[in-house]
Each structure stands twice: as structure tokens, then as C-alpha cells.
Chain A
Amino acid sequence: MLRLILSRLLAAIPVMGVVAIFVFLLLRLSPGDPAAILAGDTATPEIIAAIRADLGLDRPIPEQFVTWIGQLAHGDLGKSVLSKQPVTMMIGQRVEPTMSLALTTLIFAILVAVPMGIVAAWKHGSWFDRGIMALSVAGFSIPVFVLGYIMVYVFSMKLDLFPAQGFASIREGLPAFLERIALPTVTLSFIYIALFARITRTAMLEVLNEDYIRTAHAKGLKEHVVLVRHALRNAAIPIVSVIGIGFALLIGGVVITETVFNIPGIGRLVVDAVLGRDYPIIQGVILVFSGVYVLINLAIDIAYVVLDPRIRY
């Protein structure tokens, strides 16, 4: 296991190196000028040129790249072009809302979807199964921003049960945290419930036709024991894979939900940085998240080993 972890972490270094080069070049070759954005609408070309020189953007691209890599080697992601705040600090400010939303969404989706998938497989062909499948289709079909606006309209504006927007840190208390995170969580989890329920149902259907399940029934085991201990455990590998991929997608793909519910997360940070051509932020976030994706994949691989001792790396 330790060898697996070490080898994966070592393999991540060239991956992140390629990501760093790619992101750096992509940004430098795309249109837009951070100095012009910083100076404002009525700034003269001379002022813009002075700011560009001050930011080092007038230097050759290889020289800029070496400077950036040198900073990275010291664990420094640089400073925002616009706000001059350290990128590490800005990412730190935005990680909590995004991770909170991703985790609550993941937990809620698993808690709802996995039992739904199990029951759908168990009652294969029944009205419940068909209902779950219909719900899955709806979950995939409804755009998240449409669902978000509907949720806000019904539960916030009409029923006055939740705030319309914003995020409260868990440090402000669990009730405040849950009150703010509930609607975005339910909104965002809809599509993941659909995905996880379908995968669980499919994986369970395959396993439920295996001989050892028939044997378990013949031994007189209770239905829930057969379903959970024998069937689900053996169907877990594809489910865990999809949940892992889902988590990675969640972290990078919550920007619409963050916008609709005004959650100051990583998604908004990146979008704003792209619109403002704030190179250090874009580079920093992409680099950090490529590392996070490596870790998520590693966690999935470790989960495989735990769930199925036959798997060896």
C-alpha cells in the first residue's frame, strides 16, 4: 500500500509539471492584457505600459516562466495581479465554501442515491424501479441553474424557509451553516443522485444474478443482509469509481451553483480571474486542483484495495 501511495505521488510530479507548462503558455498566448484591465477604462497607453512593465509582463515569456517556476519551488503561487493578495491566501479563503458544498452534496447524494439504486435493483421491473429511472432521466435533463432558481423561488421567496443566497462558515455554527448550504446542496445533488442511483442499480443487478447470492438466499439469510453485505459489497467497485469521479467533477464544476446561490467558492474565483486575466490566480488554482485530482484518484485506488482484497497494484 505504501509503495502504491509513493509511486502515485511520484508519478504526479511530471503530470503537474506538464499542467504548469500548458496553463502558463495557454494564458500567455490567449488575448487580453492584465495591465489594461488593472489601469481601468480611461487610462492612457503610457500608464498601461508602465503597469505592464511593473508586472513583468513586458519580459520574454521564457523569462516569465522561469520566474514563476522559481516562485513555485519555494511554495509561492504568487500574488493576484489585481488585488495583490497572495494566491495561496485567496485559494484558502475560497476552499471552504467549495469543499463544503462538494462534501454536503456528495454525502446527501450517496445517502439518497445508493439506497434508491439498491431498492430499484431488488425490485427490478416494479413501479418503484421505473420511478427511480424516470427520476434519473429528470435529474440528468434539468439544468442546475433552472433547478436552483426554482428552489430559491419556492423555498426561499415563497415559503421563507431558507435565505436566498450566501454562505456561512461552519465556524458560525451548524444551524447557520446548514441553513445556507441546504438549498445549493439539494440543487447540486440532483444530477448526482440520478447518476449514482443508476450506477448502483446497474451494478447491483449484475451481482444479484450471481450464484453466491442464490447461495446466500438458500442459506436463509435475511434479505437486507444479502443485499448489503453480499451484493452491495461486491457491486461497490463501479459505484466508488463513479462517486470518486463525481467528487472531482463537483469540485471543478460547481461554478453555476455558486453563482446562483452567491457562494464565494473556487469556481467564482477562477471565472473572475479568467475574466480579469489574473494569471497567477488561474495558474495557482489549476495547479492546486490538478494535485487534488491526483489525490482523489489515489483515494479511489486505495478504496478498491480495501473493498476487494483480490486487487493488487
Chain B
Amino acid sequence: MRSRRFQMFVSAIGLSIGLGLLAGAAADAVAQDKKTLRFIPHAGLRVTDPILTTAFMSRNHGYMIYDTLFSVDDKMQVKPQMVEKHEVSGDKLTYTFTLRDGLKFHDGAPVTSTDVIASLARWGKNDTMGQKLFTYTKEWKEVDAKTFQLVLKEPYGLVLDSLGKPSSNVPFIMPKRMADTPASQNVPEEIGSGPFRFVKAEFQPGVKVVYEKNPDYKPRSEPASYTAGGKVAKVDRVEWLTIADPQTAMNALLKGEVDIWEQPAFDLLPELKKNKDIDIRNLQPLGMNYMLRMNWLQPPLDNVKVRQAILHAIQQEDYLAAQVGDPEYYKVCGAIFGCASPLATDAGAVGTKKADVAKAKKMLAESGYKGEKIVIMAPTDLNSINQLPLVSAPLLRAIGMNIEVQSMDWQTLVGRRAKMDPIDQGGWHIFHTAWGTADMMNPIANAGTKGLGRQGGFFGWTEDPVIEKLRDDYAREPDAAKQKAIAEAVQKRVYEMVHYIPLGEYFQPSAIRKNVVGNLPSPAYVLWNIEKK
């Protein structure tokens, strides 16, 4: 009997210890889970070099591991980030920058002026604003390990705006050995000085990216705001998990297998909103902009009257309703620099309210258009813009144009839009795309306003010396009020010559589990400041 009781006692002790261990393990797992943030990005990361490509995935990856000299806050004011202080000479030709103490790359090396100058030189080869800054640059001078100077040929009003630009290509700072890589090649490493470190061993291109907290990172003391302020990593590990199928992504979020879904499909938002554990948050207050771009090299679109007829045939509401659907997430906007931009204006805007079909028909008749075929390239696989060409086609047919919609996948379109060839050799007339407001907030950043034609314009090759002069005037002008007046003139010129047609603004919310707090609104998707409760 005693033996039996003893056995029972021992069994009870054993069971208790077992359950205790299990409970302990479960508690550890929960604690561990709270330190790991799982995030579904809008696409898979393949290119890890944010200077080589303008892809937003690479930009967002850049913000994880790299840091910037300057950043912007929620008032779009440029604020120092890696820079401790900066001075501008009286003649506005010399800028002297001093780096913060204690900045270190992930390999342990200190961040020096040499690294900064090499990084900016590489960025200046690829980025629109960087290229412009470098045309005004006489030289970059290293004063000491922490101090460097920018010497200009003539005063330039956008020095800090360029160095603090929040979107592609962001002037991220990397070690000199990486920055010496030609700008047309991918950097061979992923070493930055940002708040997270890249875990190369776990990287699966297009599938999974893992970052871990950088224990050596010293955040600024100011509160985080947009891309500025203290970048405090509050989780130990961040996993980017690509889930290609929207339904599967939604299931994973609803089951708690992931914490954040960056860009849920608009048609799934009602279902997500019904779930008590999910929040729908707009973290991109600047929004995105749809646009219709024409090929100025291709007759009859080389004729401004034909382009103006097209401009008067469209109305933004049609596009926004077809592509986004829910008015909560879109906004009619005629401002070419974005309605959230300090340069926002309605000056010269057409198509924001109602199409003027009669006027468009009359203009088309006066243009000499003889029913030539107009080829619209329509990407069928890109859900974020695939409805836009299908709206354009009937609107343009309604004014008497001979429209041919050619369906293709987005990457075929990307390859084909670079062709300047005639239509019968693979050329094109019209494509649609979407840009982040952060990428087009002034005449220098907005590549759609370039007027260099074949010599360096965006696809469509708009050649317009008048707008080029306005862009130069804007770049030289140090006074903000005068800059705004010039930007307004640029916008009027864009509408007058029909450089491109803005099709409205939309806001892509994120779906986030409610136990995830601290997400920052920002022009780019940033994952510092976030914790799991």
C-alpha cells in the first residue's frame, strides 16, 4: 500500500514538474514570440541594393539596415539624423557637416566622412535629385573622420531636401568598400549602420528576409516621426515573409501567424475589418498617385492637341472607383506634387471633376487626328493598377479614338516601355502606373516633369526646354515662397503640354494585429518603434 501511495506521490510530483516545464516552455515561447515581428511585405525582396533600384521593397529594406544623414518629419521638415550639426557659409556655397558620435557599421567599423562621401557619390549617379545636386557640386571634401564639406559651384536650394529625401533612391550611407561598387551593379554585402542587421544566412530572395536588432545602434533622442527622430528597435527580430496569394496572407494574419500585412487587397478589407483582433491603419498619409503617361515620340501623340484632347476626355473619379472602389481610400487630386505636398495646388488642373467630352471631341477634330491606332499597354498581373487601362480605353473611344488595348504582364510592359521604336516594331502609345507622393513632391524629385526628351527623360521622352528651365529655377531658388510659385508654373506647364495625366490619389492601408503597437506613419514603411503587447 505504502509503495502504491509512494508511486502515486512520485507520479504527482513528476506530473507537476512536467506541467511546470511545459508551462515554462510555453511562457518562453510567448515571450520569444513577442520579440519577433512577422511582416508580410508588398512583394518579395530580391535586390538588396537600394541605390541600384528604385523598387520600394529595396528602399524599405534600406531603412532597416542603413541610416541617412538627414530625414523628414511629419511636417516634411528636414531633420538631422546621422548628422550632429551642419553649417552653411555666408555665400551659401559651402556646407559643413559633422557626424554624430558613436556611429558604427554592423561590422564594427566606425562611420567616417570617407564612407559618407563615397556613398553620396554612388547615390548621385542614379537618383534624380542626386544627379541634380551633383550638377551643382564643385566637390565633396573630407575635413576629418567626422567632418566633411560640400562645396557648390553656385547656390542650390535643395541641398538638405536632397540629402533627406525619404523615398527612392534614398541617400543611405554604407561603407566605402561597398559604395565603391559601380552604380549599375548590386553591392556585394548588406552592411549598414541602421537599427537592424541583415541576417544573411537566413535570406531567401523573394521568400524570407530576417533582421535582428542592432545592439550598437544609438538612436537620436527626439521622438520618432516619419523617417526622422529616434529609430528605436523594440523587437529583437523581424521576419519579412512573402505571401504571394492575398487570401493566404489574410488567413495567416487572422490566425496570428503573422503580425502585419503591409498592403492588403482592397476587396479583402471588409472581411478584415470584421475581425476583432485586426486593425486597419493608414500608415502612408502621403498616399500614392495614379498616372497616365503618353509617348511623345509616337505619332499622333507627338501632337500636343491630341494629348490635350485626351486630357479633357478623362475624369479621375472613374479610375479611382474602378481601381480602389471604396471612397474612404481615394481622393480626387489635381496637384502633380501630391495633395499632401507643401507645393500642392489646383493651378491648371484638368480632369479632377468631370470630363468634357464635347470639348475633347472638338480638340481631337482640330488636331488633325485621322483615326490612327493608339496602343495602350495593359498589365494584367499587377492588381494595384490593372483596371486603369480598362478605364482609359472606353473614355478615349468615346471621343472617337481608335484604341487597341494590348494585355501583357507588368514586366513585359516594363521592358517594352523602354522602346522608342515605332508601333509595328514593338513601340507603344500609353501606359499607366502609380507613384508614391514621396517620390514626386517637388519638380526635381518628380521624374514625370523632366523635359529632356531622349537625353534623360522618363519613359515617354517628354522634350520641353521651358519646363527644364523652370526646374532649374526651382533648384536654384532658396526662398520657399518663390519655390512654390515656380512649382505652380511647372504644374501649369505639365497640364498645358500634357507631360502626364494625374489620375487621382489613393491610400493603401495596412492590416495589423491589435497587439502590435507603435507603427509609425511614414513615406516609407519603417519597422522601428514597434512592439508586441
Enumerate chain A interface residues (CB-CB to B < 8 A).
Answer: 31-33, 36-48, 50-51, 53-54, 80, 82-85, 90, 93, 149, 152, 156-157, 160, 163-166, 259-262, 264, 268-269, 272, 275-277
Contact = CB atoms under 8 A, between A and B. Distances in A.
B456 to A, nearest CB: 6
Interface stretch (B109-117, B182-190, B494-502): B182-190
A277 B412 CA distance: 9
Nearest to B59: A40
Contact of A260 (B185, B241, B248, B411): B248
Nearest to B434: A41
Interface in B441-468: 447, 456-459
A80 B54 contact: no
21 contacts: A31-B412, A37-B411, A37-B415, A38-B47, A38-B52, A39-B52, A39-B53, A42-B439, A47-B126, A82-B47, A83-B48, A85-B205, A93-B204, A152-B248, A163-B257, A164-B248, A165-B243, A165-B248, A166-B241, A264-B207, A275-B381
Interface string B47-65: 1100011110010000000
A264 B204 contact: yes
A40 B459 CA distance: 12
Interface residues of B, number: 54
Given A31-B408, A262-B252, A42 B435 contact: yes
B414 interface: yes
Give 5 nearest A-B pairs by CB, closest first.
A40-B54, A33-B415, A83-B205, A164-B251, A50-B184
Contacts of A33: 414-415, 418
Contacts of A44: 128, 447, 456-458
B254 interface: yes
Contacts of B418: 33, 36, 45, 48
B415 A32 contact: yes
B52 A259 contact: no
Interface of B: 44, 46-48, 52-55, 58, 126, 128, 168, 182-186, 188, 204-208, 241, 243-245, 247-248, 251-252, 254-255, 257, 381, 408-412, 414-418, 426, 433, 435, 439, 447, 456-459
Given A44-B128, A47-B126, 14 more contacts: A31-B412, A32-B411, A38-B52, A45-B418, A45-B457, A53-B184, A83-B46, A85-B205, A149-B247, A160-B255, A165-B248, A166-B241, A259-B245, A275-B410
B411 A157 contact: no
A272 B206 contact: yes
Contacts of B459: 45
A180 B244 CA distance: 17
A277 B205 contact: no
